[in-house]
Amino acid sequence: MDKKMIGFVLLMLFLVIGLTGCYARDDPGVDTDGDDVPDTEDEFPNDPDEWVDSDGDGVGNNKDDFPSDASLSKITYLYNSIGPEGTDDPWILSSGDRDEFTWTVTDDYKFIYVNSSTRENIDGDWILQPVCPIVTVSSPVNSYTISIGNPLSRIPVTTDNIGDWTFEVVNGCDNQLQVTFVISMYK
């Protein structure tokens, strides 16, 4: 065989092997992680629990509590229904009573969000959302009053407000109150 023919055969062999390899990688039927989403459409081809990241923050939509907000990805519930001595029971406050607890906010979080729920005891019936309690959240730099039934909007965690936050309830009602908090920290 002459040198031109050997060169031609080698070139053809190289092209066939190269094209076959490219074809196998771009095969729309390949699904490496077995999540029924082809690798060509899967943003997480090696994670069977994720395949799309709508906000582009690197956290897939299934694990992202905020799939359309790239600044937030995870909610960590610090407390749900905070009660006396750290129990999940609501606080029971008589008329004129006040109570508080402190939570340390660290720079591991981007935002804090607070909501409270209150019920007033009127003749043995617990009535939702009385307007008479005063619920205050104080960070190292600001104080916020929570309107009953409306959550406290997201408060950015900055270097100024890292530290102890105080959550206080004053019962200004004439009757006994049940008070619960839901506090969420966003990473």
- Give the per-residue pLDDT at 42: 92
pLDDT at position 26 over 60: no
- Give the per-residue pLDDT at 154: 72
CA distance 74 to 151: 19
Q: Mean pLDDT score of the chain, rounded to an integer?
A: 77
Provide the CA 178 distance to its chain's centre, in angstroms.
27
pLDDT (tens digit per residue) in 53-94: 998 888 888 888 778 877 766 665 554 444 445 556 677 888
- Give the per-residue pLDDT at 32: 92
pLDDT at position 158 over 80: yes
- Give the per-residue pLDDT at 43: 93
Cβ neighbourhood burial of 137 (10 Å; 0-12, 13-18, 19+): buried
3-state secondary structure of 162: coil
- Give the per-residue pLDDT at 68: 82
Overall average pLDDT of the 144-168 stretch: 78
Domain boundaries, the chain: 75-186
Tokens 């359309």, located at residue: 68
Q: What's the sign of the alpha-carbon dihedral 130, 155, 106, 109?
A: positive
- Give the per-residue pLDDT at 78: 52
Tokens 């995870």, located at residue: 74
| CATH no., domain 75-186 | 2.60.120.380
Q: Check: CB of residue 179 under 8 Å from CB of residue 81.
A: no
